[in-house]
Amino acid sequence: MTVVGPFGLSVRDQALEADVQTGLAAVEAGLLAATKSDVPFITDAAQHLVKAGGKRFRPLLVMLAARFGDPYAPGIVPAAVVVELTHLATLYHDDVMDEAEVRRGVDSANSRWGNSVAVLTGDFLFARASHILADLGPEAVRVQAEAFERLVTGQILETAGPGDGRDPVAHYLEVLSGKTGSLVAVSARFGALMSGADERTVEILTQYGERLGVAFQLADDVLDVASDSHESGKTPGTDLREGIPTLPVLRLRERAAASGLAEDRALVELLDGDLSDDARHAEALRLLRAHPALEQARRDTVRYAQEARAMLTPLPEGYARTALEELCDLVVHRAG
């Protein structure tokens, strides 16, 4: 077995491995070409996150989904470039909204050049993605437009918060389906669609991608609490410190409201307080790691990953399906 890409997928077939590696290399070249401008400053800003690296999770999914049709069809690599450009563009915008200082181990674009440049650079990437998309046909444009609408809707719902009487966990999962699941679903859809796979296969892979995308984000939520910095590559408890209500915290609030236990309420109060103090932050992490809410969030992650895996059952057995199943296992492993 050979590890393919930064995501760590093991491919059991040399031909598949070679094709995926070749495809990802072509995507990388396509990303650099798509982010090059006649204005050097724009090139620097647009290539900032491209050159910082990343898992290339979405392009990998495009490549694997394409194995259910003609994996060498000409639209596959451009479609993978489109989804990664779209993803990168959202990161520029997210960092402005979150006032982030670091992204992928480098200064965020907003901390280096300011919010206006970061927002406009994200817009530039969206424009370049649209330019590539136009050559892929009206169906691809429609699919991307619908996904982009869902992505933005998810971001707006997150900003607005749950309405009165709305279950915060259900609201959060709806947010993730839009913010994360929609673009991962499109990655699988584009791979199948561009390869000429039949309509049923396209729909199966789309549903698979949706669930896998949510599972992937939920695993990140668990990692933020459960991992150390060496294991995850980022400082643990970052979301906690910033007051971002991830799933473990939402599950804690749910349990505290239902149980009325003094220790649950005390932990909620601690999380609602000022966690800029290192001692308070460390205590909050310690208590949340030992709380059943974290295990509940793990179970939620596993459930979505299992649902994604189950979606693949009607597809023909083979190395490509095995690789997609392993992606589900990798997500669960990250949350374990």
Predicted local distance difference test score (pLDDT) of residue 49 = 84
Predicted local distance difference test score (pLDDT) of residue 165 = 83
What range defines the domain where residue 282 resides? 210-309
Cα gap 208→176, rounded to integer Å = 15
CB neighbours of 250 closer than 8 A, spacing ≥ 6?
168, 169, 172
> Which two tokens mark 290?
């030992």
300 located within any domain? yes
pLDDT tier at 25, thresholds 50, 70, 90:
very high
CB 136, CB 82: distance < 8 Å: yes
Element counts in the chain: helices (H) and strands (E): 18, 4
Residue 28 CB neighbours (<10 A): 17
232 located within any domain? yes
Cα gap 331→336, rounded to integer Å = 9
Average the pLDDT over each of 16-25, 130-139, 287-296, 327-336 and give the range with the smallest value. Answer: 327-336
322 located within any domain? no
What are 53-85's pLDDT values in tens digits? 788 999 999 999 999 999 999 999 999 999 999
- In the predicted model, what is the mean pLDDT of residues 24-53? 92
Cα gap 280→271, rounded to integer Å = 9
44 located within any domain? no
50 located within any domain? no
**What does the mean pLDDT of the chain come to?**
89
Type of residue at 224? D
In DSSP notation, 243-311 reads T---HHHHHHHHHHHHH--HHHHHHHHHHHS-TTSHHHHHHHHHHHHTSHHHHHHHHHHHHHHHHHHHH
Average the pLDDT over each of 20-29, 75-84, 104-113, 183-192 and give the range with the smallest value. Answer: 104-113
273 located within any domain? yes
Cα gap 31→120, rounded to integer Å = 18
**Quick check: 1 pLDDT over 50?**
no
280 located within any domain? yes
How many domains, the chain?
Answer: 1
Q: Say if strands 2-4 and 9-11 run parallel, antiparallel, or are unpaired.
A: antiparallel
Query: Which neighbouring-strand residues pair with 103?
Result: 106
Cα gap 31→217, rounded to integer Å = 24
Q: Which helix (H) or strand (E) holds 171?
A: helix 168-176
**Quick check: 104 pLDDT over 80?**
no
Predicted local distance difference test score (pLDDT) of residue 232 = 47
**Quick check: 3 pLDDT over 60?**
no
Predicted local distance difference test score (pLDDT) of residue 59 = 96
Predicted local distance difference test score (pLDDT) of residue 99 = 65
161 located within any domain? no
**Quick check: 309 pLDDT over 80?**
yes
CB 59, CB 76: distance < 8 Å: no
What are 216-245's pLDDT values in tens digits? 999 999 998 997 754 544 577 888 888 888
